[in-house]
Amino acid sequence: MDIFKALKVYFGYDTFKRGQEELINGIVNGRDALGIMPTGGGKSLCYQLPAMVLSGVTVVISPLIALMKDQVDALTEMGIEATFLNSTLDRAEANEREQGIRDNKYKLIYVAPERLSSFDFKELISNIDVSLVAVDEAHCISQWGHDFRPSYMEIPRFINSLNRRPVVAAFTATATIEVIEEIERLIQLRNPLSLSTGFDRPNLLYKVVKPSDKFSYLMNFLQGYGQTEAGVIYCSTRNTVESLVKKLQDKGISAVGYHGGMNAEERQDNQEAFIFNRSRIIVATNAFGMGIDKPDVRFVVHYNMPKNMEAYYQEAGRAGRDGEESQCILMYSPSDIVKQKLIIQNEYLSPDREQLLYKNLQILIDYCHTNDCLRMQILNYFEEDVPNKDCGKCSNCLDESEMIDITVEAQKILSCIYRAKERFGAEAITQILKGSRNKRIIELGLDKISTYNIMSEYNANVIKEIIMTLSAKGYIHITTDKFPVLKLTTNSRKVLQGEEKVYHKKDSVDNAATKDDKKE
Ligand code: ADP
Ligand code: ZN
């Protein structure tokens, strides 16, 4: 059947979404494919439609059990024969489905990656004709990404174990050049048709805010924003989730929590309460979200800064899947950096991997401190060709707050880094500038350098805010080690010699001065 006809007959759509036609054409003509599409871009159709056109069976590898059931239910409703195999089935149910597979009853079979190494599963599949293997959330194979799943490494072996090599198609919503290369190499795609429909989500409004009191900011936002609109609030720890749910409920706002420490039943209940609009808000750790298809999420608030841009973009991207205007708000506070570093330090990591995580974290810290268009920053990160113009729809583009000249402060900070021989991090540099009598500062003789005590009248948070801003602007390089050190860059000289001026938002400086990290 022709793919346009299949689109209409099986799925009831008249036109393809961006990128779908090219990918589907490639796949049905026997070419491997790598589709990079944003959340809500319509990846599923890119393997579901070929499954109906190709003669054999399509095996879909997907990491999330909840997602499988939903997709299979939806397909069954459309009259498409599909099934899934995973650990939630009891023995009798699994036997019945396996028999169905042997009898060629299904066009689509969804499996969790863990199953690929099972001898029984391989045996079962070896007896049927597989036309297509579709790998969903393909970035899970990459160690560069944020969702590495070791069982994804089984995929190439599984494919090679089949009687005839099928077409292989991989899909992901989030991928940098490194991740894309890894997907292609590790899944062993053969000359794939690689297609990216772009990462821009024009209906999302991006904001970075640095409130001195996060909870009051949040309350203000929730009371102003339609009062009924559904949203996700991400926090970095289980404790923050618990306490925030309680604080919201105390204020009469309908909210439930979601984190890995809850039992499965409670998680399921809360997730459903949110999806079916019984609860307006879900407060969650990053355990929540993959595969959740709630189209009308109107806002995603990050109560804490997450660990890197990919995670942020993925989580924020759960807003506005229906294409309607939605907001993504990142609430930054310096203590978020400390939290993320602790998480890295508590993992058992190779030095290389640890460095990578610090580097990725710094990119997001820079995002929180830039005065440039946030959408451009995001798109640049994903290395797309982006027009060099402001989007007009992010907190920086929309910001009319006053910019103040911080060149003198920048010069003091940069000289201090230079005088201290580029050996110290933000904390020590701040202490030197403030003239701290801290034992370590004195012992190291740092009270003898000429920049000691030259910013004594400044609040330490203001100095740190300016340091991070200088990093975001490329005037300081922060090394990516366990104990990051501030270094000068080739651009620092221009500021030191007065050739370039530095500006920053007055609001950000003022907020830093009143910042109380305990108030979260
Ligand atoms: P993704 O997996 O890329 O996040 P989905 O496959 O869940 O996206 O698709 C997102 C939404 O778009 C779904 O509601 C789906 O039914 C719808 N959709 C997919 N393809 C089309 C199409 N060609 N025309 C209209 N709607 C589509
Ligand atoms: Zn912008």
Got the DSSP string for 13-55?
Answer: -SSPPTTHHHHHHHHHTT--EEEE--TTS-HHHHHHHHHHHSS
Q: Is the CB of 21 under 6 A from ligand 1?
A: no
User: Hey, what are 341's tokens?
Assistant: 């570093």
What pLDDT does 175 receive? 66
What pLDDT does 519 receive? 43
Residue among 13, 25, 36, 67 to mutate when testing ligand 1 (max atoms within 8 A of CB): 13
Rounded CA gap, 510 and 505, in Å?
Answer: 9
Please give the number of the atom of ligand 1 that sits closest to the Cα of 293.
Answer: 7
CA 35 to ligand 2 centroid distance, Å: 27
- Which region among 32-36, 153-157, 277-281, 348-352 has the lowest average model confidence (pLDDT)? 348-352
List the residue whose alpha carbon is closest to atom 10 of ligand 1. Answer: 40
Closest residue by Cα to residue 500 from 486, 510, 485, 490? 490
Rounded CA gap, 361 and 364, in Å?
Answer: 5
By the 8 A CB rule, do 140 and 182 touch? no
Residues contacting residue 518 through CB under 8 Å, at least 6 positions apart:
none
Q: Is the CB of 45 under 6 A from ligand 1?
A: yes
Answer yes or no: is pLDDT of 214 > 90: yes
Rounded CA gap, 293 and 141, in Å?
Answer: 22
Rounded CA gap, 99 and 91, in Å?
Answer: 12
To which residue do tokens 């042997």 refer? 102
Q: Is the CB of 291 under 6 A from ligand 1?
A: no
Q: Does 162 or 388 have the greater pLDDT score?
A: 162
List the residue whose alpha carbon is closest to atom 18 of ligand 1. Answer: 42
Rounded CA gap, 510 and 216, in Å?
Answer: 17
User: Residue 60 half-sphere exposure, CB side, CA atoms within 13 Å?
Assistant: 30
Rounded CA gap, 328 and 317, in Å?
Answer: 8
Q: Is the CB of 238 under 6 A from ligand 1?
A: no
H/E stretch holding 108 reads strand 108-111
Q: Please, which pLDDT band fits residue 383 given cuts at 50, 70 and 90?
A: low
What pLDDT does 367 receive? 96
Q: What is the dihedral of CA 328, 334, 336, 337, to 10 degrees?
A: 110
Residue among 45, 60, 314 to mutate when testing ligand 1 (max atoms within 8 A of CB): 45
Which amino acid is residue 124, in one-letter code?
A: L
Q: Is the CB of 41 under 6 A from ligand 1?
A: yes
Rounded CA gap, 251 and 255, in Å?
Answer: 10
Answer yes or no: is pLDDT of 320 > 60: yes
**Which ligand number lies closest to the CA of residue 390?**
2
Q: Does 478 or 226 have the greater pLDDT score?
A: 478
User: Hey, what are 269's tokens?
Assistant: 């209940």
What pLDDT does 520 receive? 46
Q: Flag whether the pTM goes above 0.90.
A: no
Answer yes or no: is pLDDT of 292 > 80: no
Please give the number of the atom of ligand 1 that sits closest to the Cα of 41.
Answer: 3
In this structure, the chain runs to a length of 520
Please give the number of the atom of ligand 1 that sits closest to the Cα of 39.
Answer: 4
- Which region among 259-263, 293-297, 390-394, 458-462 has the lowest average model confidence (pLDDT)? 293-297
- Which region among 322-331, 343-352, 403-412 has the lowest average model confidence (pLDDT)? 343-352
Average pLDDT over residues 147-160: 92
